[in-house]
């Protein structure tokens, strides 16, 4: 079990280590730094940040320097395993009583394995992926979806309250990762439905500007998808949530659903559309699916 002598809450400000410091993590780090925290980081490339963050060459060294609190923010299960385990992994550098916050979007199985490995070392681990893209991270308005022990969630609450507007304790270890897949699956299906609607409207001869403006006016489309509509109307697919990551989350969802026997045919079809989009626009925002649909209908007789 994690060290029972660990404090119930973090100090108002302290030192936090980040393993992974890309688009989302660097924004979370900036928010924490603005709140008085000191930030150290590790990335495989040794690059990132804005020149104010100290980078260390290996996850273990990062964990040793972080003083007990480490945030993982890596792209997938494979990157998580590489960063967390082994003699140079973050777990090897953390002392008993430390707090490991995994904000990565990974499979529930990977989240559970990390929690079990951390527990064997007396480290508290939370799977805490976030809902929101770079605009929400900039605004400190992410929603944190947490799996783990309630006491450990309370310890991490000062950090969550800085990076997010809400924290949802989904249940025991693995629950945050599961809830993240539910949220992203719904998000992906919603965008695919809007993109298909646009495709049909254009193929049927509706004026493009009128169509996009009309869809921006109706209540049935979420604010998130309206933001994607505006970007697609302008042909701006600057990555807020890259297609390769969205398609990865949909793939994880299909695998997780199959494990529990949950039928998800609509999400399966959406995954195929995002796989096609990933082939053409891997590093662009996943709303590039609109471009794929527009190109398809442009070739319709």
**SS3 of the chain: helix, strand, coil, percent, to 5:** 55, 15, 30
pLDDT in tens, the chain (301 residues): 444 444 444 433 589 999 999 999 999 999 999 999 999 999 987 665 556 789 999 999 999 999 899 999 999 999 999 999 999 999 999 999 999 999 999 999 999 999 999 999 999 999 999 999 999 999 999 999 999 999 999 999 999 999 999 999 999 999 999 999 999 999 999 999 999 999 999 999 999 999 999 999 999 999 999 999 999 999 999 999 999 999 999 999 999 999 999 999 999 999 999 999 999 999 999 999 999 999 999 866 5
Residue keyed to tokens 């969205």: 246
Of 47, 165, 180, 230, the active-site residue reads: 180
Domain assignments of the chain as residue spans, ordered by start: 15-172, 179-298
DSSP 241-276: SBHHHHHHHHHHHHHHHHHHT---HHHHHHHHHHHH
Class of domain 15-172 as given by CATH: alpha beta
pTM score? 0.91
Q: Is 180 a catalytic residue?
A: yes
The token duo for 54 is 């100290």
Distance set, CA 104 to CA 131, 142, 177 (Å): 11, 14, 8
Buried/exposed 178-196: b ≥16 CB within 10 Å, e otherwise:
bbbbebbbebbbbbbebbb
Options 3.10.20.30, 3.30.360.10, 1.10.3720.10, 1.10.1040.10; CATH for 179-298 is: 1.10.1040.10
């Amino acid at each position: 079990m994690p060290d029972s002598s660990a404090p119930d809450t973090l100090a108002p400000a302290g030192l936090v280590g980040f393993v992974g410091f890309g688009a989302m993590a660097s924004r979370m780090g900036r928010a924490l730094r603005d709140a008085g925290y000191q930030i150290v980081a590790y990335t495989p490339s040794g690059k990132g940040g804005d020149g104010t963050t100290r980078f260390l060459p290996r996850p273990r060294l990062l964990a040793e320097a972080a003083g007990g609190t480490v945030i993982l923010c890596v792209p997938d299960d494979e990157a998580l395993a590489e960063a967390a385990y082994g003699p140079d992994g973050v777990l090897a550098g953390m002392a008993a009583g430390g707090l490991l916050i995994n904000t990565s979007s990974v499979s529930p199985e990977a989240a559970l394995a990390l929690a079990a490995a951390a527990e064997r070392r007396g480290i508290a681990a939370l799977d805490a992926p976030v809902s929101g893209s770079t605009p929400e991270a900039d605004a400190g308005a992410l929603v944190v979806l947490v799996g783990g022990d309630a006491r450990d969630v309370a310890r991490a609450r000062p950090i969550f309250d800085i990076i997010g507007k809400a924290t949802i304790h989904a249940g025991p270890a693995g629950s945050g990762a599961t809830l993240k897949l539910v949220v992203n699956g719904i998000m992906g299906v919603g965008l695919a439905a809007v993109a298909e609607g646009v495709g049909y409207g254009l193929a049927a001869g509706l004026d493009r500007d009128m169509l996009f403006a009309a869809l921006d006016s109706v209540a049935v489309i979420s604010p998130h998808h309206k933001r994607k509509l505006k970007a697609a109307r302008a042909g701006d697919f600057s990555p807020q949530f890259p297609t390769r990551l969205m398609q990865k989350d949909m793939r994880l969802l299909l695998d997780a659903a199959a494990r529990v026997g949950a039928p998800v045919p609509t999400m399966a079809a959406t995954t195929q559309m995002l796989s096609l989009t990933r082939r053409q626009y891997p590093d662009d925002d996943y709303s590039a699916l609109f471009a794929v649909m527009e190109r398809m209908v442009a070739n319709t007789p």
